[in-house]
Every structure is written in C-alpha cells, then in structure tokens.
Amino acid sequence: MIIERVSSGIPELDKKLEGGFPENSTTAIIGAFGTGKSTFGMQFLNEGLQNGEHCILISLDDDEEAMIRTASEFGWDFQRYVDEELLLLMKLTAIDIKTSILRIRSELPRLFELFGAKRCVFDSITLFEMLFTGENERRLIVYDLVQVMRNSGATSVITSELDSSNPHASRFGMIEYVSDGVIFLNYHRRAREKTILLSIEITKMRRTKHSRDIMAYEVHRDGIKITTDGAHSDIFKC
Ligand SMILES: Nc1ncnc2c1ncn2[C@@H]1O[C@H](COP(=O)(O)OP(=O)(O)O)[C@@H](O)[C@H]1O
Ligand SMILES: [Mg+2]
C-alpha cells in the first residue's frame, strides 16, 4: 500500500523522509530551548495553509496574538488564515489539571472533527507534562493526547524539550515512545570558532526508510533551512 506523504515544510528534510511525514502520523520534535522547535511547527503549518489545508496550532505558552506576531516575523500570514477560517489557534491555559484533561479527552476530539484539520501542532508537550505531578497520570494523558491526534486523521507535530542530563531523550522520556516519528534538534558549541552550530537528525519514522544523516541547519528570516546534506556531518564531532 502506498503511504501518502505530508510535506514538513522543509524541502531538504522531505527528501530524507521519502517525501515527508507519513499521512496521519505524529512526530515529536525534541530539542533544547532556542533550537527552533516552535519555528518548525509553524513552518509545517504554513506549508499546509498555503495548500488550503485546515490546520490547528495548540500552544501552551503563547496566546493567539503572540502566535500571529511570531509567525509574521517569518513572513507567514497567520492572521489571514485565521480570518479565512483555515487556521485555528488555541492557547491551552494551565488553569488546572482537571480542565486540561477534560479539554484533551472531550473538547479536542470534537474540535478536530468539526474543523476537519489536516495538520496539527502541539507546542509544547513538556509544558503540558509539567502540569502533572503524578507519573502515571502524566503518562496516561500524554498517551490519550497522541491517540486523539491520531484518531482525528490529521498529521501532527508535537514539540518537546530535551532532558537536561540526556541529550538523546525528551524531558519526561515518554513522547518518543508514543510518537510515530522522532526528530532531534541539537546545538554544538564550537569554542574555537566562537559559534554554535545546529544539527537535525531523524531518529525514528515509522513506515519510512529514512536517512540517518546528521544535517546542519540554520534559522533564517524565512524559517528553517538545512545547509548540509549530511555528507559533512563530521563537523559535529567535538
Ligand atoms: N524572525 C526570526 N528570524 C531569524 N531567526 C529567528 C527569528 N525568530 C527566531 N529566530 C531564531 O530561532 C531560534 C529558535 O526559536 P524557537 O522556534 O522559538 O525555538 P524553541 O521553540 O526551540 O525554543 C531563536 O532563538 C532565534 O535564534
Ligand atoms: Mg518554543
């Protein structure tokens, strides 16, 4: 069976993914703060919006106005898409855990169905996970959230912070197991050159023969750009 592919919004990344994310998959974008996770999410949505797809952006730290402002700095006109009812922006406030659980379990599935979203971004799962003190409750709700996204039929991106003591794991070590795909964004301090290099790698992507190259990327005024194809990945050895 041929798997439909959904462009990530980064052409060089799509080439390494047999054309893009598998349709209806959920991919975790894991990285330290400032590596470009939120930018990745917005770029992924902008790609769909340009093609007339319905998209949902759920943010835990930005309100609707801030999301529109940040996107506009990259030249992505989210306000226009909101006006056209193609884009739904949703700030998930940490009022209390019960409200959050209720919203995830009952409101969100209805919203997805009503809106007919093709793409969804959840930014970030870490802020959401931090609402829960009980490990079991946290695991159950993250599992539920991923199921809700999958059942909706949308192709999703979920951002996550890194674990401070393990650069190969998310903060709570859960999202990489329940997601279909995992992409890591890392930074490398180059003391001699007095600069920081950014690298992107695909760690997991179900139903895809993906590349395992470590690629350099930069965040530009118009979004994320991959600058090497992995052939020079030895530059990251430090
Ligand atoms: N409009 C812009 N033009 C160029 N670079 C930007 C712009 N906005 C943000 N950046 C760069 O991208 C980095 C990543 O931002 P962001 O996506 O918010 O990271 P994260 O969500 O991982 O914390 C910022 O720290 C900054 O260096
Ligand atoms: Mg962010």
Which atom of ligand 1 lies nearest, measured to the CA of 33?
A: 23
Identify which has the larger pLDDT, 148 or 235.
Answer: 148
- 144 vs 76, 83, 103, 112, CA distance in Å? 31, 30, 11, 14
pLDDT, position 104: 80
Domains of the chain: 5-236 (3.40.50.300)
205 by DSSP, 3-state: which?
A: strand
Rounded Cα–Cα distance for residues 154 and 118 (Å): 4
Nearest CA to ligand 1 atom 26: 34
With 0.85 as the threshold, say if the pTM is over it: yes
pLDDT, position 84: 97
pLDDT confidence bin for 190, thresholds 50/70/90: confident
Rounded Cα–Cα distance for residues 43 and 222 (Å): 9
pLDDT, position 1: 76
Q: How many CB atoms lie within 10 A of CB 224?
A: 24
Of 122, 116, 85, 81, the residue nearest 100 (C-alpha): 122
Rounded Cα–Cα distance for residues 15 and 229 (Å): 10
Separation of 39 CA from ligand 2 center, angstroms? Answer: 7
* Helix or strand holding residue 200 (H, E): strand 195-205
- 206 vs 24, 46, 203, CA distance in Å? 11, 24, 10
pLDDT, position 231: 59
Span between the terminal Cα atoms of the chain, in Å: 43
Nearest CA to ligand 1 atom 16: 36
Determine if ligand 1 sits within 6 Å of the CB of residue 221.
yes
What is the residue-averaged pLDDT of the chain? 92
Top mutation candidate among 10, 74, 170, 219 for ligand 1, by most atoms within 8 Å of CB? 219
Separation of 90 CA from ligand 2 center, angstroms? Answer: 15
Determine if ligand 1 sits within 6 Å of the CB of residue 219.
yes
pLDDT at residue 238 greater than cutoff 60: no
pLDDT, position 102: 79
* Bridge partners (DSSP) listed for residue 181: 27, 205
Contact in structure between 157 and 15 (CB atoms under 8 Å): no
- In tens, the pLDDT along 140-154 reads 999 999 999 999 999
* Contacts with 190 (C-beta within 8 Å, 6 or more apart), sequence order: 196, 197, 238
pLDDT at residue 155 greater than cutoff 90: yes
- In tens, the pLDDT along 24-59 reads 999 999 999 999 999 999 999 999 999 999 999 999
- In tens, the pLDDT along 100-112 reads 777 788 889 999 9
Phi, psi of 222 (to 5 degrees): -110, 25
Determine if ligand 1 sits within 6 Å of the CB of residue 137.
no
Top mutation candidate among 39, 186, 187, 222 for ligand 1, by most atoms within 8 Å of CB? 39
- In tens, the pLDDT along 57-83 reads 999 989 999 999 999 999 999 999 999
Separation of 164 CA from ligand 2 center, angstroms? Answer: 16
Residue 72 structure tokens: 């506009």
